[in-house]
Amino acid sequence: MKHLPHSIATAAAALLLHFSSFAQSENIDLALLDPARLQNYQIDTTDYADYHLLIYNAENLFLNNRETDALLLYRSIFEAYRFSFAKDKVIAAQISAECGNLSSFLYFYEEALRSGVDKECVLQIPLIADFTEQNDLRGAITEAEIKQFRRRHLSEIDFKRKQKYVNNYRTEQKLKRENNIPAYKTVLLQNVQEIKEDTKSNGFPGEKRLGIDDKILTDERDVCQLSNETVLISLYHYPCSYTEFKDLLHAEILRGNLHPKDFAYLYEYEGELNRQQHNRFPDLCRPLPKDSVCVLIDWESPQDTTLFARANAQRRSFFVPPIEHDLRKKTYAEAKGMRLFFGFGVGFFGGHL
């Protein structure tokens, strides 16, 4: 257990309470979230419900023009957890640049590199490109240091298992490109079964275990999505992954092995495949019904606001913030030249929420 520092406790209190419906649904003790007691709030670093709750609040802080408080909270989160998601470190680096905080930027930039992020994925973001040019920072962290970070990162993940999944992914995709559908279906089912059994034995093979996609190992993927698409794609292409594995995978969110957005997208993608009547395995599985609630995880400016209440209720069960929060992030990012959305599926439905 780790404590939130007194300096950020009051700043985060109201926002934690704002998300109280989330807390209630996940049996979080609301007494701990009272503003007068939040300075003693113990972060349960074995349970990632707290992690995602606090990240949500860090985002709320900068969206409410409290960037300095947000950076304090981000640093506290990353110091508390042995593992934190690379995308959150890249976002924190951007907030540092927006504030003109040089030391904070270098700290979060280095943390991102230590998490396997390719430097160009950070430096090409317009806000950071301008910030690093103005402050002559492109070489602030040397190539020798970056290589050292990469070696350390690769030593901390299950590298052999990562290579195995990369090979599985390439075999699967090769058969799909060749339109060898019978063989493709066989390999896809084998890959999905391997992911299932590996998850049961060792935890989901996500970023925490295998790291994010790497331009040397998987140069065919967009490594700047800061995801591990070589594993996730098999689950997305099997049309019943959410329906069949939802309990197993939901538990992996709490262990930090699977990011909530990836789980929510799995749900969204399965529903969309069924609405489009695209099920290659009709004799094996029954996907989500066609009228399943869309969570609008990746749609461009959703128009039907009457859907938001139901979508947000479903999002809450996935540990994903409400749609309105994502729309605010989108507006903030576009105004400041930032990139605040990452992960597999970004842009699939024409959006990036």
The answer to whether 30 and 24 are in contact (CB under 8 A) is: yes
User: What's residue 193's pLDDT?
Assistant: 97
Reference 321, options 308, 305, 334; nearest CA is 308
Q: What is the pTM of this model?
A: 0.87
The answer to whether 339 and 84 are in contact (CB under 8 A) is: no
Within 13 Å, how many C-alpha atoms sit on residue 246's CB side?
15
Model confidence pLDDT, tens digit, residues 42-53? 666 778 999 999
User: What's residue 6's pLDDT?
Assistant: 44
Residue 284 has pLDDT above 70, yes or no: yes
Model confidence pLDDT, tens digit, residues 220-277? 899 999 999 999 999 999 999 999 999 999 999 999 999 999 999 999 988 888 787 7
Residue 337 has pLDDT above 80, yes or no: yes
Q: How confident is the model at residue 293 (pLDDT cuts 50, 70, 90)?
A: confident
Per the prediction, the chain carries an average pLDDT of 85
Q: How confident is the model at residue 301 (pLDDT cuts 50, 70, 90)?
A: low
Highest mean pLDDT among 75-79, 279-283, 349-353 belongs to 75-79
Cα separation, 253 vs 262, whole angstroms: 10
Reference 84, options 45, 38, 122; nearest CA is 45
